[in-house]
């Protein structure tokens, strides 16, 4: 069964064709990232306009590279939540129009569910497993009980890990996205040069809190500026990254032990982080757990993961009509549309 996936939740306009949820036939991404770099973060209005310009060509190219006509497609899967509302609406409306005109079923896909599905692409991973989802907008520990049944075990109380990295990167004067810059520059820094607090959430030991860490970086940089001192940015970046990764790994380990999981999965844009990947490998070696990390090309936003999750939602009977709307927020476990 071939699913056409469409993604436009943030600054990537993407379309892909995936067979049976696993075999990627095509995966096309157009991004407006370079334009957002000028402003140090994604400008929603610009993202929406670029989606509107690119989406038709991106979908056409995805079909062409998969050697498919629209009639060869069994269903159209589209990201409908969560994300930037104006950006999501472009993908949702395009998918609705295509579904109606080509008379194909329309399958709404939750963005975080699709990030998890990036681990199904070209692998043998099957639920149940425990997943750490770390993206620009979310940090969750989720028990994936089946392809469409999820339980949130832990979550951030304030900033997401990616958001904290992006804001810290900006404070350090690094190019957007800060997470990518921090990963790169940390390779030449000393991760023990600066000591950061290890925030705990009272009464919820598996939850995260990253806003205090972000404030610590801002204070370090501002205090140094006031004293006229120069900060070693690679050292600061490496120390901050180490702390964020330690916070993620420590709760993830506790959660896996508490709930008895030995199949461990990481997903979302921050899963591209080299330190997080290597620390997850060490963690799983230590416990004898099986680890799945997305291929680097599927860590960030893409439509292959949407088509993969779309396949499993389709198989579970999920369908939307021409009244499908987009939503800026939506929990992963209780999806309404
Ligand atoms: O999943 P994603 O592409 O978009 C959202 O759904 O939010 O995640 C984007 C986030 C950004 O915060 C970006 O800085 C972060 O992923 N990111 C990284 C790396 N690559 C992307 N963070 C740390 N290290 C990386 N290599
Ligand atoms: Zn994402």
Could you tell me the distance, in angstroms and rounded to a whole number, from the CA of residue 119 to the centre of ligand 1?
16
Q: Is the CB of 272 under 6 A from ligand 1?
A: yes
* Per-residue pLDDT at 245: 98
Q: Average pLDDT in the 274-297 region?
A: 98
| Ligand 1, atom 2, residue with closest C-alpha | 269
**CA 44: distance to chain centroid?**
17
The per-residue pLDDT for range 47-105, each reduced to its tens digit, is 999 999 999 999 999 999 999 999 999 999 999 999 999 999 999 999 999 999 999 99
Q: Is the CB of 92 under 6 A from ligand 1?
A: no
* Per-residue pLDDT at 220: 96
The per-residue pLDDT for range 312-321, each reduced to its tens digit, is 999 999 999 9
d(CA 167, CA 188): 20
| Ligand 1, atom 23, residue with closest C-alpha | 179
Q: Average pLDDT in the 261-288 region?
A: 98
* Per-residue pLDDT at 275: 98
Q: Is the CB of 42 under 6 A from ligand 1?
A: no
d(CA 106, CA 321): 7
| pLDDT > 70 in the chain, percent | 100
Q: Average pLDDT in the 230-248 region?
A: 97
Q: Which of 109-113, 181-185, 193-197 has the lowest mean pLDDT?
A: 193-197
The per-residue pLDDT for range 8-51, each reduced to its tens digit, is 999 999 999 999 999 999 999 999 999 999 999 999 999 999 99
Q: Is the CB of 137 under 6 A from ligand 1?
A: yes
Best probe residue, ligand 1, of 33, 237, 266, 270 (max atoms within 8 Å of C-beta): 270
* Cα angle: 188, vertex 238, 301; to 5 degrees: 100
The per-residue pLDDT for range 120-166, each reduced to its tens digit, is 999 999 999 999 999 999 999 999 999 999 999 999 999 999 999 99
Q: Is the CB of 135 under 6 A from ligand 1?
A: yes
DSSP 54-106: HHHHHHHHHHHHTT--GGG-SEEEEEEESS-HHHHHHHHHHHHHHHHHHT--E
Q: Is the CB of 180 under 6 A from ligand 1?
A: yes
Which atom, in ligand 1's list, is nearest to the CA of 272?
26
Mean pLDDT of the chain: 97
User: Would you say residue 326 has pLDDT above 90?
Assistant: yes
Could you tell me the distance, in angstroms and rounded to a whole number, from the CA of residue 300 to the centre of ligand 2?
6
Could you tell me the distance, in angstroms and rounded to a whole number, from the CA of residue 163 to the centre of ligand 1?
8
Q: Is the CB of 191 under 6 A from ligand 1?
A: no
User: Would you say residue 227 has pLDDT above 90?
Assistant: yes
* Per-residue pLDDT at 180: 98
The per-residue pLDDT for range 291-310, each reduced to its tens digit, is 999 999 999 999 999 999 99
* Per-residue pLDDT at 199: 85
| pLDDT > 90 in the chain, percent | 97
| Ligand 1, atom 13, residue with closest C-alpha | 179
Query: Which bound ligand lies closest to the C-alpha atom of 160?
Result: 1
User: Would you say residue 200 has pLDDT above 90?
Assistant: no
Could you tell me the distance, in angstroms and rounded to a whole number, from the CA of residue 326 to the centre of ligand 1?
22
- Tokens for 204? 């919820």
Could you tell me the distance, in angstroms and rounded to a whole number, from the CA of residue 74 to the centre of ligand 2?
25
DSSP 111-177: HHHHHHHTTTTTS---SSEEEEEE-SS-EEEEEEEETTEEEEEEEBSSS-HHHHHHHHHHHTTPPSS
Q: Is the CB of 294 under 6 A from ligand 1?
A: no
Could you tell me the distance, in angstroms and rounded to a whole number, from the CA of residue 224 to the centre of ligand 2?
34
């Amino acid at each position: 069964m071939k699913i056409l996936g469409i993604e436009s939740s943030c600054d990537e306009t993407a379309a892909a064709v995936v067979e049976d949820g696993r075999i990627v036939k095509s995966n096309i991404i157009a991004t407006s990232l370079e334009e957002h770099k000028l402003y140090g973060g994604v400008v929603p209005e610009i993202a929406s306009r670029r989606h509107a310009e690119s989406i038709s060509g991106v979908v056409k190219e995805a079909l062409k590279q998969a050697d498919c006509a629209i009639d060869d497609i069994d269903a159209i899967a589209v990201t409908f939540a969560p994300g930037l509302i104006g950006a999501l609406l472009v993908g949702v409306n395009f998918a609705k129009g295509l579904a109606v005109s080509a008379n194909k079923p329309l399958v709404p896909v939750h963005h975080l569910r699709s990030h998890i599905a990036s681990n199904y692409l070209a692998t043998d991973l099957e639920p149940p497993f425990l997943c750490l989802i770390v993206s620009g907008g979310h940090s969750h520990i989720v028990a994936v009980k089946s392809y469409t049944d999820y339980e949130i075990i832990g979550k951030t109380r304030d900033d997401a890990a990616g958001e904290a990295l992006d804001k810290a990167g900006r404070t350090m004067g690094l190019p957007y996205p800060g997470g990518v810059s921090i990963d790169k520059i940390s390779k030449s820094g000393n991760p023990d040069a600066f000591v950061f607090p290890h925030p705990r959430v009272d009464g919820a030991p598996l939850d995260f809190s990253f806003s205090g860490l972000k404030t610590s970086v801002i204070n370090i940089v501002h205090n140094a500026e006031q004293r006229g001192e120069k900060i070693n940015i690679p050292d600061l970046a490496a120390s901050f990254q180490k702390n964020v990764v330690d916070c993620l790994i420590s709760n993830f380990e506790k959660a896996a032990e508490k709930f008895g999981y030995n199949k461990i999965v990481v997903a979302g844009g921050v899963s591209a982080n080299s330190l997080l990947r290597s620390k997850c490998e060490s963690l799983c070696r230590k416990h004898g757990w099986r680890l799945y990390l997305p291929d680097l090309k599927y860590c960030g936003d893409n439509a292959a993961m949407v088509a993969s999750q779309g396949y499993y939602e389709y198989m579970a009977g999920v369908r939307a009509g021409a009244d499908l709307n987009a939503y800026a927020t939506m929990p992963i476990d209780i999806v309404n549309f």
